[in-house]
Amino acid sequence: MLKQSTVGKPVIFLVLFMAVMFIAGQADAQTKISGKMTMAYAKMDSIPVSDTEDHNMALAESKGNNISTGDNAFMDGAEIINFSYADLTKGSGPHQGYVTFKKGDDMTIAKWKGKVKTTMTEEGAPKTTFSGTFEYIKGAGQFKNIKGAGTYEGHFTSSTEYIVGWKAEYTLK
């Protein structure tokens, strides 16, 4: 009578276990993305604060488009809506808001915060730059369970238009 070998069972279990762990690891794998947003104010309101010279609170809605600049074509061509609040003295100070990327049924919403800095050029014109961090708070479509964060930096090209470069990593849980 032949005995059934028990050596094969641990090997099969190990192979199956490793396959499941590989698949689970892929679901949590970080995806690196980057892009460039070209934006313009759709609405903007500024309220002076009379505590010091040139202190203003600003609330704005901007609209624009995203171009993917990384290996992953994340939201390439997406429509962007950005809501921002800034507390600026002489054009510098903190800002924060929410940015929505929408392309077809896919959408992401991120909460962001950072700093604005305005300096004067040698010609006497203001030069405004900004930078900060963001975190994804919601998604829809293929990005329904998005989790991740990133950084951004940008500058104004006119008094109503600006460009933002960004990079991030995300997972879909």
Whether 18 has a pLDDT exceeding 60, the answer reads no
Fold category of 31-172 in CATH: AOC barrel-like (2.40.350)
Most confident of 2-6, 16-20, 152-156: 152-156
Q: Where are the domains of the chain?
A: 31-172
Which of the four pLDDT bands, split at 50, 70 and 90, describes residue 51? very high
The arithmetic mean of pLDDT across residues 105-127, rounded, is: 96
CA-based nearest residue to 128, from 147, 115, 138: 115
Residue 8: pLDDT over 60? no
Is the pLDDT at 48 greater than 80, yes or no?
Answer: yes
Q: Quote the pLDDT of residue 173.
A: 83
Query: Which percentage of the chain shows pLDDT scores above 90?
Result: 83
pTM of the entire predicted model = 0.82
- Mean pLDDT over all residues of the chain? 90
How many whole angstroms separate alpha carbon 155 and alpha carbon 171? Answer: 29
**Per-residue pLDDT band at 7 (split at 50, 70, 90):** low
Q: Judge contact between 159 and 125, C-beta under 8 A.
A: no
Residue 23: the pLDDT is 47
Q: How confident is the model at residue 3 (pLDDT cuts 50, 70, 90)?
A: low
Output the pLDDT for position 20. 47
| Structure letter (DSSP) for residue 75 | T
